[in-house]
Amino acid sequence: MKTITHWIGGKPVEGTSGRYGVVYDPATGAQDKQVAFATVDEVDAAVASAKAAFESWGVSSLAKRTAILFKYRELLDAHRDEIAELITAEHGKVHSDALGEVARGMEIVELACGISVQLKGELSTQVSTRVDVASIRQPLGVVAGITPFNFPAMVPMWMFPLAIATGNTFVLKPSEKDPSASFRLAELASEAGLPDGVLNIVQGDKVAVDRILEHPDIEAVSFVGSTPIAKYIQLKAVEHGKRVQALGGAKNHMLVLPDADLDFAADQAINAAYGSAGERCMAVSVVVAVGDTGDELVAKIAERAGKLRIGPGNDPASEMGPLITREHRDKVASYVKSAAEQGAEVVVDGTGYSVEGHPECADGFFLGVSLLDRVPLAADAYKDEIFGPVLVVVRADSYDEAIKLINDSRWGNGTAIFTRDGGAARRFQLEVKAGMVGVNVPIPVPVGYHSFGGWKDSLFGDLHVYGNDGIAFYTQGKVITTRWPDPADAGINLGFPSHS
């Protein structure tokens, strides 16, 4: 059985803890790999390697950094199929979806390639007689990232390319459920010429996470995951004096007004709810049907849901793959049952699904898609982040009722409105309490040069990831005031400095 190890100081490092995590193929349910869990000493070794590398990397030229990043982007492009295959094998998402994940991660590498422009400082000359003031940004030192299972390549690439481009060194703790993609990213970075120790990976569980949060040589921590863990990360990191950005969970609403193109809206609801088996924090999990649109819209979504092809991610015919683990599949399925008990109408029941034509998938972690209509706001299926292929529909009599419903949610990650009315769309984007808003776009994940992040219980910390916020997070500002006296000047003046 293959063991996935740590990556420390530019090379693989075998684990010594004797503790391992199981890595499944979700399509078959078989364990074909294991991942070594780090000890505290192994985390310390990774941090020590990063700290040593920072001495030279932090003062390296922007030209050197960008040359490596351009080469890295080239290697990622050449190996994108290979990385996507690793994602499919361990996460389960279909190959085309995995390729899209790699492409979106590469957007941040491309942003990092232009870091010489992003790090240009500011200069004000002659603010006083022969006095100039300059603002610059400098790296923090050793920074860390803790990333989730649902995007094992993209989310790490949201973090470390910008961190190293700005002169920091990085320690990554990826998900133990699908660790191979991030390990391959580190190998390719080394092949691109990244100096040893600039990027390190420690595999593991809470032992590794807690040591990262406590380690005195780590200056900042980035996290993407569930809301309870995001809260924990923020509190513990801040307690130990670290800068932190922690992105939590979501319950993303898609508001459909009566004037919307319902066929288009139904198509987009299917794509946004069931893509990647619903295991993404920007998935649409609630459709808010306004006025008399509900019955027709639900019928259109149900018709499309019944035609989805669910199967192993390496089958080109599959449109949706399995969930990440058996336990998670069963938890997601339990929400469909409880919703019926709590007053919802189960229009499409995806529980008990089995894949046809693939006998090797008999024990895979598959779940069909479910559609729940007229879901009470008190039902668990509405209140909780399900993180699976379950779409909830609620009804609202008016736009005002719908916007209140969305704004009352404790989450504020992403949201969307479907309408032909420009005035309603403009009002929505200003009034809705969420960090990312789509107008006729169901999953409004920003491009790399804008920042990703939500509001309320979807974000803990002040800055979003990547884009300008990401660059600000991984750097600290410094203001320099200088005066170069004219040689003809002389004398002593004990008065308070003035701008004259």
Write out the catalytic residue numbers.
281
CA distance 466 to 447: 9
CA distance 423 to 208: 50
CA distance 158 to 414: 17
Write out the two tokens for 274: 């069931």
SS3 43: helix
Running DSSP on this structure, what letter comes out for residue 125?
E
The residue among 258, 253, 284 whose CA lies nearest residue 271 is 284
Q: What are phi and psi of 258, to 5 degrees?
A: -60, -25
CB neighbourhood size of 120 (10 A): 11
SS3 327: helix
The residue among 292, 290, 231, 283 whose CA lies nearest residue 252 is 283
CA distance 277 to 462: 30
What burial letters (b/e) apply to 297-320, b meaning 16+ CB within 10 Å? bbebbbebbeebebbbbbbeebbb
Contact present, 405 and 288 (Cβ < 8 Å): yes
CA distance 344 to 281: 23
Contacts of 142 (CB under 8 A, 6+ apart): 47, 50, 51, 54, 168, 169, 170, 171, 217, 218, 219
Q: Count CA atoms closer than 13 A to 138's CA, side-chain side.
A: 9
- DSSP strand pairing (345-348 vs 370-373): antiparallel
Contact present, 159 and 170 (Cβ < 8 Å): yes
Dihedral sign computed on CA atoms, order 75, 76, 81, 83: positive
CA distance 415 to 288: 11
Q: Which DSSP string do the residues of 150-192 spell out, in sequence order? A: SSTTHHHHHHHHHHHHTT-EEEEE--SSS-HHHHHHHHHHHHT
Write out the two tokens for 500: 């004259």
Contacts of 120 (CB under 8 A, 6+ apart): none
